[in-house]
Copies of this chain bind each other. A is one copy, B any other.
């Protein structure tokens, strides 16, 4: 039996979107390939609210995150971490011999503008990474204040991991002055995994020119220069089938309307939060709770693996807590093309399993 996935990616993909992947192959050096990649890039510019360049990569979001910190750090990177994916960005820097320091918020907490300002005032850093939405703790980091701080440090490249939030909540890349904003297919875009997408500002590209040993496959400058020269074609063979689905799904997303899409995500989030507060507790403070995934304190000491097995028999899957939050928390995602009814169906089923219904 298929389980409806309420995990923080991959999530269910609509049948008509999946079917786009059955379209026949085209040559990746053809005009059709240029047209496809141009079309996708322009639609992504709308979703990212940016006029800057778009890069596509046959990799997971992790691939372009590594590409960003490695390609654009000439001196030293400040990694602001609110959980597992911040830690990963730091690990990527170190494993590439990129000088970096990590600044951590407590789990469930956010990075404040004051933290960022204090760190940048040292003058040691030319690149900053921030996790927008941390699926391990269900925290959505407010970007507005951080972006205001960054305005006072125009020499610093501002990189944001929006892997699990872009297309699910409003992120205005240009307005917030983000130089590199990274996302991937299998979260709020409602697409299958296998590709990452990023916006890159001219400033980020200029920064990369001063960096040696950027590698090849994930070198943002190599990708950027190539698509400029070759009419949106890439150095390596791209994941055509996923791009067919992406081009189609971006039309669906823009047809729904971005504001409507954000509202739907917020409504689903509110519904899960209300349920969580009634039956358990939210893991983060409510004001920082993510619009795309809710982390819930397991205040009843439920066996989460058992709960998930029971849900599995009823056609649903949720997530246990991440790392050392396993069993202490559990997570319900609400991203992509799910509706409020889908979420209500899940919550009713959990109530039924737990015998704590109305």
Contact = CB atoms under 8 A, between A and B. Distances in A.
A242 interface: yes
Contact of A194 (B26, B27, B218, B240): B240
A339 to B, nearest CB: 17
Nearest to A241: B192
A180 interface: no
B241 A194 contact: yes
A58 B186 CA distance: 13
Contacts of A30: 317
B22 A194 contact: no
Contacts of A219: 95
A28 interface: yes
Contact of A238 (B193, B213, B218): B193
B25 A240 contact: no
Contacts of A62: 216-217, 235-236
Given A219-B95, A236-B63, A241 B58 contact: no
A186 B238 CA distance: 10
Interface residues of A, number: 60
A47 to B, nearest CB: 20
A219 B95 CA distance: 9
A241 B11 contact: no
A97 interface: yes
Contacts of A217: 59-60, 62-63, 66, 92, 218
A105 interface: no
Nearest to A187: B237
Contact of A18 (B12, B70, B237, B241): B241
Instruction: Tell me if A's interface is mostly helix, strand, loop or mixed.
Output: loop
A18 B18 CA distance: 10
Interface stretch (A1-9, A152-160, A265-273, A292-300): A1-9
Contact of A5 (B12, B27, B192, B236): B27
Interface string A317-355: 100000000000000000000000000000000000000
A7 B12 CA distance: 34
A13 interface: yes
Interface in A10-48: 10-13, 15, 18-19, 21-30
A144 to B, nearest CB: 29
A24 B13 contact: yes
A30 B11 CA distance: 13
B66 A59 contact: no
Contact of A193 (B10, B91, B240): B240
A216 B91 CA distance: 8
Interface of A: 2-3, 5, 7, 9-13, 15, 18-19, 21-30, 58-63, 66, 70, 88, 91-92, 95-97, 184, 186, 192-195, 212-219, 222, 235-242, 317
26 contacts: A5-B25, A10-B28, A18-B21, A18-B22, A18-B24, A18-B241, A21-B192, A28-B193, A30-B317, A58-B193, A60-B238, A61-B236, A66-B217, A92-B215, A95-B213, A95-B214, A95-B216, A95-B219, A96-B213, A97-B212, A192-B240, A193-B238, A194-B194, A217-B218, A239-B239, A241-B241
